[in-house]
Amino acid sequence: MAFALNKSSAEEKTAKKKPFANWLGLRSKAEESNDLPPVDVTAGVNRALRHPKIPKAQTAAEAKEFRVRDTLGSIEAALYVIDGIRDIIEQACEIALSAKCVEDVGGRSLLAERYDELRLSIDDTIKKADPRAEQLIGPQARHLDVVLDGKARYSVSSTRLDVSEQGLNISPPREAFATFEEIDEALQELDAALGRADRTAAGYCRDAQYLIARMKGEFEE
């Protein structure tokens, strides 16, 4: 359901959103998400990340475990940043919906300024984030490859979540919300951006679940 329909629909949609970073500690219910299997990821992530760094003199198995734990740390950091980005998108949605109720062009222009501030704060959030998160969702995002068995590798795909066309594709309000058509276009972009952020986070949750399962199978006695 798109943000552009009406305010109550948008509020209903955003109210159903759960922080993805918190999902790591929940057993998912069918009504909350069909994308994530009911696996308690946090216990595995916390167990994987709380160990001290492995010293330089390490076995092949220890080196593999370290790489998996390092990748899990990047995923966890990215999920927290995505939660913040989702909050900003929802705030921007509220601003745009408010603008639809303002007849005065000057009043809509002021709201457009606030909207653009929120839009730009998405990039600032990524820039100030943990570098481990930025490598998965920033402008220079790259895939993370983890060696599992022999030559077998598992790749965690990166997804840009900045406001550029290659990322969330959230345009500035170039006409300062002078027309209601521009506001509707902004709401459509926000709806698509929220969907991209949610799909990215859901994918990272699945990656974490898989890697934790491999750790439990290969590295725990």
Report pLDDT for 21.
53
Report pLDDT for 204.
96
CB atoms within 10 A of CB 149: 10
Domain boundaries, the chain: 7-25+37-218
Instruction: Report the C-alpha gap between 55 and 50 in whole angstroms.
Output: 15
SS3 at position 153 = strand
Lookup result for tokens 């948008």? 10
The CATH number, out of the four listed (1.20.140.160, 3.10.20.340, 2.60.120.380, 1.20.1330.10), of the domain defined by the range 7-25+37-218: 1.20.1330.10
Of the candidates 13, 8, 24, the one whose C-alpha atom is nearest the C-alpha of residue 80 is 24
pTM: 0.75
Rounded to an integer, the average pLDDT of 118-135 is 95
DSSP state string for 1-19? --TTS-HHHHHHHHHT---
| pLDDT band of 219, cuts 50, 70, 90 | low
